[in-house]
């Protein structure tokens, strides 16, 4: 099997490491937290075989890409700027965007703001949402004893100190707990790394130590993720969360702007996000924000790491969507 080519590109003032495979219309694949471009290892060859040029960057702050030190260098607009510059550096005029988790949030906004560059978008896990009535730091729940995980991630240096003590243990617990194999989200016993956390403890103590890696994650692939985060640390990825309020403030300039390009939405039946109150209503309301939404599909049994957990179904849906363009 032909493997993707990894190389460095200069884009938007940064060096970004990309995985690239195939020739044809450009498809950019944007990973989430805590992942790297390797999360798209099943999609790159499938897209290439179907006649597309598939490119997956390590997003800024992750993997082999540059990691700016300033926390405010990780807004959604910075990441959108990276994608715009990547299209140009790859010698293309337009691309289709595919994103999961944070990559989905960034893909939605890139398609919303630059339809001249991004002719279609497929988002996994995170739906397109309108601007909230208040800043996320006020919106997400917290009490004297517990807080939503984004409040924990927002504390400078705190989550890094916990996650970087033993990267393999951190990733193994997070990957398992957010996967479909952890159990249905309707079951209160199912762990959720992206839910409420006790204030007097960190994230990992709330998650079980799995007896084995999830069936969808080969040891060699897991080791690759571990090595990547041992080298990069978690600070870059966590900085995306530390800009939630700033993203909200910046989005005031674009309030009311819709995603006007063709779009596809996929979510795992056991995605952690579906445990959030009101998420089903947000998904149902998407056609008002994404008038050219061509499909919204729930994938049985899968969790948050959809491209890795259900690659055959994801590839089928993506290729069908791309052919429809």
Per-residue pLDDT band at 281 (split at 50, 70, 90)? very high
Supply the pLDDT for residue 174: 98
Helix (H, G, I), strand (E, B) or coil at 116: coil
Q: Is the distance from CB of 107 to CB of 117 less than 8 angstroms?
A: no
- Token pair for residue 255? 């309030």
d(CA 41, CA 24): 18
**Tens-place pLDDT, residues 285-310:** 999 999 999 999 999 999 999 999 99
d(CA 204, CA 3): 34
Query: In 3D, which of 263, 220, 259, 270 has the Cα closest to residue 129?
Result: 259
**Average pLDDT over every residue of 88-100:** 98
Q: Which residues are catalytic?
A: 101, 304
Longest dimension (CA), the chain: 54
**Tens-place pLDDT, residues 188-230:** 899 999 999 999 999 999 999 999 999 999 999 999 999 999 9
Query: In 3D, which of 240, 325, 262 has the Cα closest to residue 33?
Result: 240
Which strands make up the sheet holding 53-57, listed edge to edge? 5-11, 14-21, 53-57, 26-30, 95-100, 118-124, 263-268, 293-299
Per-residue pLDDT band at 1 (split at 50, 70, 90)? low
**Domains in the chain and their CATH numbers?**
5-324 (3.40.50.1820)
Question: Backbone phi, then psi, for 19, in 5-degree steps?
Answer: -105, 130
**Tens-place pLDDT, residues 251-262:** 999 999 999 999
Q: Which residue do the tokens 């993203």 mark?
A: 247
> Does an H or E element contain 293, and which?
strand 293-299
Q: Is the distance from CB of 232 to CB of 67 less than 8 angstroms?
A: yes
d(CA 99, CA 314): 12
Strand 95-100 relative to strand 118-124, pairing: parallel
């Amino acid at each position: 099997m032909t493997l993707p080519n990894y190389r460095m590109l200069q884009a938007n003032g940064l060096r970004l490491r990309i995985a690239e495979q195939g020739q044809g219309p450009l498809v950019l694949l944007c990973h989430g937290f805590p992942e790297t471009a390797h999360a798209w290892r099943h999609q790159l060859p499938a897209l290439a075989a179907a006649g597309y040029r598939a490119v997956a960057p390590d997003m800024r702050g992750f993997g082999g890409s540059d990691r700016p030190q300033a926390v405010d260098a990780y807004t959604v607009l910075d990441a959108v700027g990276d994608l715009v510059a990547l299209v140009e550096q790859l010698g293309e005029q337009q691309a289709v965007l595919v994103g999961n988790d944070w990559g989905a949030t960034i893909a939605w906004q890139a398609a919303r703001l630059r339809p001249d560059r991004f002719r279609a978008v497929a988002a996994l896990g995170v739906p397109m949402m309108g601007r909230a009535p208040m800043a996320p730091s006020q919106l997400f729940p917290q009490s004297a004893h517990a807080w939503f995980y984004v409040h924990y991630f927002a504390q400078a240096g705190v989550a890094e100190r916990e996650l970087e003590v033993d990267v393999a243990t951190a990733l193994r617990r997070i990957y398992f707990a957010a996967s479909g194999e952890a159990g249905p989200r309707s079951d209160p016993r199912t762990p959720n790394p992206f839910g409420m956390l006790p204030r007097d403890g960190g994230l990992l103590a709330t998650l079980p130590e799995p007896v084995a890696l999830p069936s969808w994650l080969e040891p060699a692939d897991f080791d690759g993720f571990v090595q990547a985060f041992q080298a990069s640390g978690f600070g870059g990825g966590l900085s995306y969360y530390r800009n939630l309020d700033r993203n909200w403030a910046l989005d005031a300039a674009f309030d009311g702007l819709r995603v006007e390009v063709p779009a596809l939405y996929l979510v795992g039946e056991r995605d952690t996000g579906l445990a959030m109150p009101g998420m089903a209503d947000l998904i149902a309301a998407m056609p008002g924000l994404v008038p050219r939404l061509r499909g919204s599909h729930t994938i049985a049994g899968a969790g948050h790491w959809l491209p890795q957990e259900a690659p055959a179904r994801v590839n089928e849906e993506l290729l069908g969507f791309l052919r429809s363009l």
